[in-house]
A and B are shown apart, each in its own frame.
Chain A
Amino acid sequence: MAQLIKDGALCENSWVRVTPEDAEGIPANGDIIVSLSCWLEQKEALKNHNGKVAVCLKPGQEPAELAGDLADLPMIAIDFPVFADGRGYSYARELRTRYGYQGEIRAVGDVLQDQLFYMWRCGFNAFDIRADKDASEALKGLNDFTVTYQADARDPRPIYRRQPE
């Protein structure tokens, strides 16, 4: 069953998350998501990896750490160890607005229906829904509201710039 929501629809996940604890190390092929430290240490080697490479930021690891690498990264994952830790929202917004990052921003970890709308507005376009939840149900969370007051990733205008003057 697909757990990934991307650009508003369920889809298959081709990416494998590689954690530093993985005994086998980095697989030879395939699309991989590596930790920030792994990326910073092995950046050059990873650029020759046979498959795409993304980096996962944990809370406390800011986008600034990747500022020079964004062109090399088709995807940045932002980890939510617990959904109530909201640092990732600011990271996504920063990636989109300060750094103009155009690639995929994927929420991973404790990713649940009731936070999707906020995440999406902050610039996430992919959500790896927590394994025990039904992703097709979670998908509904993207449509909780049709009205927003603030600027967001889809519309850079707050409501007072959307009204006809």
Chain B
Amino acid sequence: MYVYQDYDQRLLDERVAQFRDQTQRYLDGKLAEEEYRPLRLQNGLYVQRYAPMLRVAVPYGMMASAQLRMLAHICRTWDKGYCHVSTRQNIQFNWPELQDVPDILEALASVQMHAIQTSGNCIRNTTTDEFAGVNAKEIDDPRPWCELIRQWSTFNPEFAYLPRKFKIAVNAVPDEDPALIGVHDIGVQIVENGQDETGFQIWAGGGLGRTPMTGEVIGEFIEPKYLLAYLEAVLRVYNKYGIRDNKYKARIKIIVKAMGRDKFRELTEREFAELKDGPITLTEHEIERMRASFPAPAYSSLTDLPQALSQALSSDKAFSRWYHTNTRAHKQAGYRAVTLTLKKTGRVPGDITDEQLDVVADLADRYSFGEVRTTHQQNMVLADVRQDELFDLWQALESMGLATPNLKLLTDIVACPGGDYCSLANAKSIPIAEAIQHRFEDMDYLHDLGELDINISGCMNACGHHHIGHIGILGVDKKGREYYQITLGGRGDKVSRIGDKMGPSFESDEVADVVEKIVNLYVELRHDGELFIDTYERVGMEPFKERIYGPAN
């Protein structure tokens, strides 16, 4: 993991002091509400339905065990004993008091954490594959590049007041999109050019929200040393020409569409030509320093499928099921990457308690080199676990409710906080997730259904990524009542694709029924080995529509 230098720490400490002063001036009435608002937002602080919500950055989803323990401490001291993993791999606290936030930030800073730019119209946390560094398919480790982007975007003076929020994701896996770069403002795809050189293919103009769309390639092959120069060029074009008088049209995707990709690219190239080879060009030394910040852990030399593992797999069915569902291949022989699902039925998707955080921190120290990752599916990962220790780890996780074997299955639901917390919500998300989970409690059946993503957002802002759920559920407001619109066929796996709207929306108590009918039809229609998304792509919307709404006349 990137370890802070003195100056990184000093910057954080100065930020805490600055925000303490800003908050004090606000409380003293010297800073008007509308002056304070963007300042607190740029520090991840929302004013929500019942209390402020504080969003803490987890840069590209990486955390050390000491940081987890600090989150647990914050849960206990300033919140109600739990926090929430967001779809941007960040951590959210739902119940802090405004006047406590400077102290919380100071506590976070003591473990190199912060809430900088986790909200507001600025460059947000850069995200990547949660299996970065252990994914055998990746062509480069994306994390050094993410850290370079983090530093470049942190308090970048030119881009603090953009037209709208701006999200960047980096992916290093060919032919798959684990970081969802297709639906980001900028997607950075690490590619090889056929001459053994790696570089970046740059996508722009993707995004969810009100007008969901996938991005387009604007830079075919950017040399590594020019990464920041190119990003700066894109941001400058966006900052100058993004739409500012209508927040629903303010994302970069709208102007890429409006001016056309070619025009956007031309403007970017012009800025890029000036920045290229200027001081922003990355030095070899800096690239090497960043690579060295993410060393491979001190792996033992082991072989796959050791006896301890094969014995446990054959003797314990529950363990075997968890192993096949929640752990995945690792590029180092003898290791697996383990996902801790935060999706036990009856718990809010993505929520984790202080006690669980402490246990996960201990388990990370014991089994996974002290590191933990968060995922955009609102789970956590221990990325480097010895196969001969998986059984012990599983038992420990099981006793804490962190080993539900449902990763990627129907009940591994992604849901935003929705109307229970969020003041922007049209409708609740959490009870819908719970109702669906209760409907599908039979683990054998879930496993028979196979991979099926359900994503729920409480409003158009799409924090629950409903557009890319195989089944997407969106809360809408119909004459003051909560309704839900359903989309089918979205995906965010091999490729990112926006789902299709099925038809008129449903009342909250109908949603689980509708999902069940959709799933039943899939079971009737599927060919051997077909996942839900495959069947949908083969048969299209019509049969589903007919099953739900009756035959069209």
Q: Which residues of the other chain, A, contact B160 by a CB distance below 8 angstroms?
A: 86, 89, 115, 118
Q: Which residues of the other chain, B, contact A106 by a CB distance below 8 angstroms?
A: none
B280 at the interface (CB under 8 A from A): yes
Tell me how many residues of B have a C-beta within 8 Å of chain A.
38
A137-155: CB near B (< 8 Å → 1, else 0) gives 1000000111111111000
Interface residues of B in 286-312 (CB under 8 A from A): 286, 289
* Cβ-closest chain A residue relative to B9: A147
**Interface contact tally, CB-CB below 8 A:** 100
Instruction: Give, as a whole number of angstroms, the nearest-CB distance from B132 to chain A.
Output: 22
B271-290: CB near A (< 8 Å → 1, else 0) gives 00010000110110110010
Alpha-carbon distance between A149 and B159 when the two chains are bound, in angstroms: 13
Q: Which residues of the other chain, A, contact B161 by a CB distance below 8 angstroms?
A: 83-86, 89, 115
Q: Which residues of the other chain, A, contact B35 by a CB distance below 8 angstroms?
A: 83, 112, 114
Does B155 contact A151, Cβ atoms closer than 8 Å? no
Alpha-carbon distance between A160 and B157 when the two chains are bound, in angstroms: 17
A85-129: CB near B (< 8 Å → 1, else 0) gives 111011101000110000000000000101101110110000000
B193 at the interface (CB under 8 A from A): no
Does A150 contact B156, Cβ atoms closer than 8 Å? yes
**A144-B151 contact, Cβ under 8 Å, with A59-B244, A114-B35, A157-B279:** no
Does B151 contact A146, Cβ atoms closer than 8 Å? no
A159 at the interface (CB under 8 A from B): yes
Does B11 contact A122, Cβ atoms closer than 8 Å? no
Does A84 contact B121, Cβ atoms closer than 8 Å? yes
**Of B14, B162, B280, B286, which is within 8 A of A144 by CB?**
B14
**A150-B152 contact, Cβ under 8 Å, with A86-B162, A118-B160, A160-B285:** yes
A158 at the interface (CB under 8 A from B): yes
Q: Which residues of the other chain, A, contact B154 by a CB distance below 8 angstroms?
A: 149
* Cβ-closest chain B residue relative to A151: B279
B158-202: CB near A (< 8 Å → 1, else 0) gives 111110000000000000000000000000000000000000000
Does B279 contact A156, Cβ atoms closer than 8 Å? yes
Q: Which residues of the other chain, B, contact A149 by a CB distance below 8 angstroms?
A: 11, 151-152, 154-156
B7 at the interface (CB under 8 A from A): yes
A31 at the interface (CB under 8 A from B): no
**Of A91, A114, A145, A165, which is within 8 A of B285 by CB?**
A165
Q: Which 4 A-B pairs have the closest CB atoms?
A: A86-B161, A160-B286, A121-B157, A118-B157
Beyond A86-B162, A89-B159, A90-B236, 6 extra complex contacts between A and B, CB < 8 Å = A83-B38, A93-B236, A145-B11, A147-B14, A149-B151, A149-B156
